[in-house]
């Protein structure tokens, strides 16, 4: 049973879930152009870390208590931190163009702000 302080019936209605899902889709599309030698390296890490964000939001959403939801939002935020690092590494290795990097980091910042906002509102 979902905590009543969560005003959404389905996780897909949650704005931060929507934004994080959008981030995953963009990451998957962009890393498909990374060198084949990175399939088990940065490509895999970026895919796993980015998909972990909405996956943890989803798991926390369906856990049933605010405390558990907050715990999983923190895990999602940690995965977001990994994504930010791998994006920087990808840029520094010249796998990402500046425009792609800037777009993905802006989307990541937005997801982070929304995660922090939701965490803070749930802690009240």
Instruction: Please give the Cα distance from 110 to 94 (Å, whole number).
Output: 24
Supply the pLDDT for residue 8: 84
Q: Residue 5: inside a domain, yes or no? A: no
Instruction: Please give the Cα distance from 51 to 83 (Å, whole number).
Output: 10
Q: pTM for the complete prediction?
A: 0.93
CATH assignment of the domain containing 106: 1.20.1440.60
Q: Residue 32: inside a domain, yes or no? A: yes
Residue 113 vs residues 28, 39, 96, 107: alpha-carbon distances, Å: 22, 30, 24, 10
Residue 2 binned pLDDT confidence (cut-offs 50, 70, 90): very low
pLDDT in tens, 46-97: 999 999 999 999 999 999 899 999 999 999 999 999 999 999 999 999 999 9
**Which residue range is the domain that position 20 belongs to?**
11-123
Q: Is the dihedral of CA 48, 68, 14, 122 positive or negative?
A: negative
Q: Residue 2: inside a domain, yes or no? A: no
Instruction: Please give the Cα distance from 117 to 7 (Å, whole number).
Output: 14
Q: Residue 44: inside a domain, yes or no? A: yes
Longest dimension (CA), the chain: 47
Q: Residue 35: inside a domain, yes or no? A: yes
pLDDT in tens, 100-111: 999 999 999 999
């Amino acid at each position: 049973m979902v905590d009543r302080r969560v005003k959404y019936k389905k996780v897909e209605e949650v704005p931060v879930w929507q934004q994080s899902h959008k981030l995953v889709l963009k990451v998957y599309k962009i890393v498909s152009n990374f060198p084949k030698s990175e399939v088990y390296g940065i490509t895999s890490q970026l895919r796993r870390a980015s998909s972990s964000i909405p996956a943890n939001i989803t798991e926390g959403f369906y856990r049933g208590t605010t405390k558990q939801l907050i715990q999983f939002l923190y895990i999602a935020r940690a995965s977001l931190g990994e994504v930010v690092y791998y994006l920087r590494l990808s840029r520094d290795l010249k796998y990402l163009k500046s425009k792609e990097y800037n777009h993905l980091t802006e989307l990541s910042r937005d997801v982070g702000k929304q995660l922090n906002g939701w965490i803070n509102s749930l802690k009240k």
